[in-house]
Structure 1
Amino acid sequence: MRGLTGKHVIVTGSGSGIGREISLRFAQEGAVVTLFDINGDGVSETLRRIEAEGGQGIAYVVDITDREAVNQAVQKVEERNPVDVLVNNAGWDKMANFLDTDVDLWKKIIDINLYGPLYMHHAVLPGMVKNGGGRVINISSDAGRVGSSGEAVYSACKGGLISFTKTVARELARKGVQLNAVCPGPTDTPLFAEIASDTGSEKITEGLKRAIPMKRLANPSDFPGIVCFLASDDAGFITGQTISVSGGLTMHG
């Protein structure tokens, strides 16, 4: 894709799953990838794989729910090079009916899925504005577009992230900063396995496969293409958009 060689990219939640695959693809496209994840072993493995393929990267152990930790990590990155692209991918959930949940669970879900991205935006966007432009791709969820049973608070966070993306895209369009949201459908990741194991993995998985027109869950490798496209010169006139990658599970606008 045009324009990614030499770009400096931050990917959160890059220690496994979708975030790892996005990071590997950016490195393959010639970008320099900065990996943020709370899982030190996972992020080290992603970096090892990038370097094994001849790519460039650096890894930081960062808890995105800690605003000061985010600010310090971004400052370290910007001391080396300006940030051209931010991918807010980190996320977490625990499936349960809303009336069976409590405030402590709500707080954890909101901290990771909403406050974390807000902290990342607030730390990175000033540099992009100062440098005359940049790209942000927020990994939301189809749960934020159409809802998802057992994921009420998670859906609220992901829906909020979509609206936030559109609003800031409007605010910063004339500054050269473009923001878009990508919404995965059900995806075969470690997080999905963790959620499904609490509620009957085989039953949930098979039900979802039947509901998806393409008759399979997404793989983490299904997402890097659209994310890198939105970060590339080929997407120079696209901002404030929400793109579902769900195998046809959710087709309406």
Structure 2
Amino acid sequence: MTGYVPINKDLIREITVYDIPSTWSQLNMLNHLKAWGQVVAIKFKSQQKYVTVTVLIELNQAANGLWNDGVWTAPLGGLPVRWFPANWNLKQRKERERFQAVLKGVPASVTTAMLYPENPAHSILAPIGCKAFKLIQDRGSRKLITYFESWADLDKVIGKPFSLDEFTGDWMRYFTPNLKQRRRNPQKMNQEGDSKVRPTNTNTQSSKKQKVAKEIKNIDKALGGIDKLTILAEIRSMLRKLG
């Protein structure tokens, strides 16, 4: 909580924000979010190169206009970030990644600032109708990934050439790779060890009785002509008490 008390509850929105660089400090994020309005509460979740933020904010008129227009990307600190209603689950957010196109081999001279000027309506990407974009470095090659609202919009650009600076490439269909590793199979149990039969309490008791009987027999032999019956009776009586 920031301590701010909202004035206009009609402008309060809870928003999940993607694509925030992890190099930004939390204080920087809060300062950049002031361009959208007054922050009431905020949560941060680090994800490698990026941070996902969930913010409860009282939007200003400009930001509220973008939100109500259904814009997928909003400017934050000079960068385009994707925003979603915070009550959307992961499946709903991923639905916006369903229709993607990619340009491969984009040169380093093509920057985010070039693709997303201060007025996004003047972006070189505006004519193709994409709703969001991302520049990524993948295995030594730079890629420009664009997101579309429908298959009809995506189909209009697939296979078509597109020029950026001195670079020209063809749009190709793109799918977000699944980065989740398969769960490893649990280690096999040592069946040989598990198959060994452990001695039971019954077997242990039987073994003890056999030892006692053997000892009594040995004593019986050693006593010879002594009044062994009396002594043996006493021994058996003592053993019963111990048992």
* TM-score category of the 2 structures, normalised to the smaller one: under 0.3
Max radius of gyration: which structure?
A: 2
TM-score w.r.t. structure 2 length?
0.23
Higher strand proportion, which one? 2
Where is the helix percentage greater, Structure 1 or Structure 2? 1
* TM-score normalised by the chain length of structure 1: 0.22
Which structure has more relative contact order (CA 8 Å, sep 6+)? It is: 1
